[in-house]
């Protein structure tokens, strides 16, 4: 969308990125889907993805009667209406976006890829929902590190028919952008650039830039034995909502709703916990944090691995969503709640930034040869196998 690289002023750190997916590597933690961008350090490798089957084809015609450039102009007009703070000096229109970090801050960078058939289904998810969820994934990563949003970059690839609207209706892309910009405006996150291509399958790659005072970001690696384990909101609602959506698609084929009961809404329009993450960092409340995107059990394992600890969950303390089961609360993904640890002497409020907070367990020392996760149900304590989402797994 006008940018082929990002330039961070005033140090002139440049990150190349052309036509496709951005793979961002950080200095802390694994997996490398997020990271801290520090001045003077090269942390990002860009990968170029080209669709050879599209080479030589005529530009896609949009509902406006133009091609790619007309669609880009329309996106630029919409992006210009969004919030633009002192951090974003120059947005869409030049080869690079210009970001100006505030004195004493470092940048947090995260990327998330959404692919039709894997992260959403065209026949189930309204385009507005896909746009909303695409941005929500990255915002949730920023929330987990206590970072405030600075800018978003969107690379969008779609088949030609999704960019074309009927005479009396919007195209799929237009409606996707409705959902994307709706959430962007709510969280004051300007769209500063990206890329657009005709592709054989719909996909959206979003890069989120956040800012946090130096050396204060919430990391996965700060938990210590004796810390207490907390979670925001409720668990299992998103996967329960997905199950409802699948059943609804079978029972009533046709246009799907973009909202519904609590669980359906939790799946369709998750709410990133940006303000809660900021409060945890500013108050010095959390020792470690992660967002729950792959499931409580799997994301807790990630936190334990990075901190070199183990954890015990209390089944009867889990805040399970009304329509969800214990199994869904433990292993269902896409809740986008915050899972964090705190010192036992730290007073954690029952709600932070209007979001309920529940103590669900504690951190223990890691014991070689013993499970890293345990689940206590009454007097019975059993190993807990992480069974959340994992790409390329046999499950």
Terminal C-alpha separation, the chain: 37
**How far is the C-alpha of 173 from the C-alpha of 164, rounded, in Å?**
8
Which one, of 357, 362, 368, lies nearest residue 381 by Cα?
362
**How far is the C-alpha of 94 from the C-alpha of 155, rounded, in Å?**
16
Residue 94 has what pLDDT?
81
**How far is the C-alpha of 300 from the C-alpha of 341, rounded, in Å?**
10
CB 6 within 8 A of CB 15: yes
Residue 299 sits at the vertex; the CA angle it makes with 293 and 303, to the nearest 5 degrees, is 135
**Dihedral pair phi/psi, residue 207, rounded to 5°:** -115, 130
Residue 1 has what pLDDT?
56
Q: Within 10 Å of residue 338's Cβ, how many Cβ atoms?
A: 27
Domains belonging to the chain, first-starting first, are 5-213 (3.30.1330.10), 228-383 (3.90.650.10)
**Dihedral pair phi/psi, residue 120, rounded to 5°:** -155, 160
Q: Within 10 Å of residue 354's Cβ, how many Cβ atoms?
A: 7
Strand segments (E) across 4-147: 5-8, 13-16, 22-24, 34-37, 44-46, 88-90, 96-99, 105-115
Three-class SS of residue 44? strand
Residue 29 has what pLDDT?
34
Which one, of 318, 300, 314, 315, lies nearest residue 372 by Cα?
300
- Which residue has tokens 């669609």? 71
Give every CB contact of residue 299 below 8 A, 6+ residues apart in sequence.
Answer: 290, 291, 292, 293, 339, 388
**Dihedral pair phi/psi, residue 263, rounded to 5°:** -70, -40
pTM, to two decimals:
0.80
pLDDT tens digit sequence for 171-206: 999 999 999 999 999 999 999 999 999 999 999 999
CB 224 within 8 A of CB 108: no
Residue 148 has what pLDDT?
96
Structure tokens that stand for 298 in this block: 């799997």
Q: Are strands 338-342 and 105-115 parallel, antiparallel or unpaired?
A: unpaired
Residue 360 has what pLDDT?
98
Residue 66 has what pLDDT?
52
- Which residue has tokens 């790409």? 391
- Which residue has tokens 């300007």? 190
pLDDT tens digit sequence for 56-108: 344 444 444 456 677 778 777 777 765 556 787 787 778 888 888 889 999 99
Helices (H) and strands (E) in the chain, counts: 9, 19
The CA–CA distances, whole Å, from 131 to 114, 116, 117, 142, 202 equal 10, 12, 15, 18, 12
Structure tokens that stand for 197 in this block: 């291509």
- Which residue has tokens 């990271």? 35
Q: Which residues pair with 209 in a beta bridge?
A: 109, 151
**How far is the C-alpha of 99 from the C-alpha of 341, rounded, in Å?**
32
Residue 386 has what pLDDT?
92
CB 36 within 8 A of CB 25: no
- Which residue has tokens 């973009």? 258
**How far is the C-alpha of 120 from the C-alpha of 130, rounded, in Å?**
7
Q: What is the pLDDT along the chain (395 residues), one digit of tens a residue?
A: 544 333 333 333 333 333 333 333 333 333 333 333 332 332 233 333 333 333 334 444 444 445 667 777 877 777 776 555 678 778 777 888 888 888 999 999 999 999 999 899 999 999 999 999 999 999 999 999 999 999 999 999 999 999 987 777 899 999 999 999 999 999 999 999 999 999 999 999 999 999 999 999 999 999 999 999 999 999 999 999 999 998 988 887 767 777 667 889 999 999 999 999 999 999 999 999 999 999 999 999 999 999 999 999 999 999 999 999 999 999 999 999 999 999 999 999 999 999 999 999 999 999 988 899 999 999 999 999 998 655 545 55
Distance of CA 333 to the CA centre of its chain: 12
The CA–CA distances, whole Å, from 123 to 4, 135, 141, 277, 314 equal 33, 20, 27, 34, 38
């Amino acid at each position: 969308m006008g940018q082929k690289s990002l330039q961070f002023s005033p140090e002139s750190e440049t990150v190349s990125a052309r036509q496709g997916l951005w793979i961002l590597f950080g200095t802390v933690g694994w997996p490398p889907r997020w990271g801290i961008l520090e001045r003077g350090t090269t942390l990002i490798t860009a990968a170029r993805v080209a669709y050879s089957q599209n080479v030589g084809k005529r530009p896609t015609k949009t509902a406006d009667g133009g091609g790619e450039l007309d669609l880009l102009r329309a996106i630029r007009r919409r992006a210009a209406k969004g919030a633009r703070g002192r951090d974003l000096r120059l947005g869409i229109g030049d080869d690079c976006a210009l970001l100006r970090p505030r004195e004493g801050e470092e940048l947090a960078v995260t990327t998330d890829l959404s692919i039709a058939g894997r992260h959403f289904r065209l026949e189930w998810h309204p385009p507005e929902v896909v746009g909303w969820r695409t941005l929500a994934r990255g915002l949730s990563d920023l929330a987990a590190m206590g970072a405030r949003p600075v800018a978003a970059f969107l690379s969008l690839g779609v088949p030609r028919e999704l960019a074309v609207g009927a005479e009396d209706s919007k195209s799929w892309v237009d409606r996707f952008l409705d959902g994307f910009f709706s959430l962007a405006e709510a969280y004051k996150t300007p769209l500063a650039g990206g890329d657009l291509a005709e592709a054989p399958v719909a996909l959206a790659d979003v890069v989120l830039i956040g800012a946090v005072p130096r050396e204060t970001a919430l990391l996965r690696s700060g938990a210590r034995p004796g810390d207490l384990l907390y979670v925001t909101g409720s668990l299992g609602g998103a996967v329960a909502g997905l199950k409802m959506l699948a059943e609804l698609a079978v029972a009533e084929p046709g246009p799907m709703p973009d909202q519904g009961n609590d669980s359906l809404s939790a799946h369709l329009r998750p709410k990133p916990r940006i303000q809660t993450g900021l409060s945890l960092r500013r108050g010095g409340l959390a020792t470690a944090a992660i967002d729950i995107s792959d499931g409580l059990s799997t994301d807790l394992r990630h936190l334990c691995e990075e901190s070199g600890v183990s954890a015990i969950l209390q089944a009867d303390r889990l805040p399970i969503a009304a329509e969800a089961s214990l199994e869904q609360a433990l292993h269902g993904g896409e809740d986008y709640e915050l899972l964090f640890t705190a010192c036992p002497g730290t007073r954690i409020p029952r709600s932070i930034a209007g979001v309920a907070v529940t103590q669900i367990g504690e951190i223990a020392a890691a014991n070689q040869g013993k499970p890293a996760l345990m689940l206590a149900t009454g007097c019975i304590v059993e190993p807990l196998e992480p069974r959340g989402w994992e790409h390329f797994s046999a499950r």
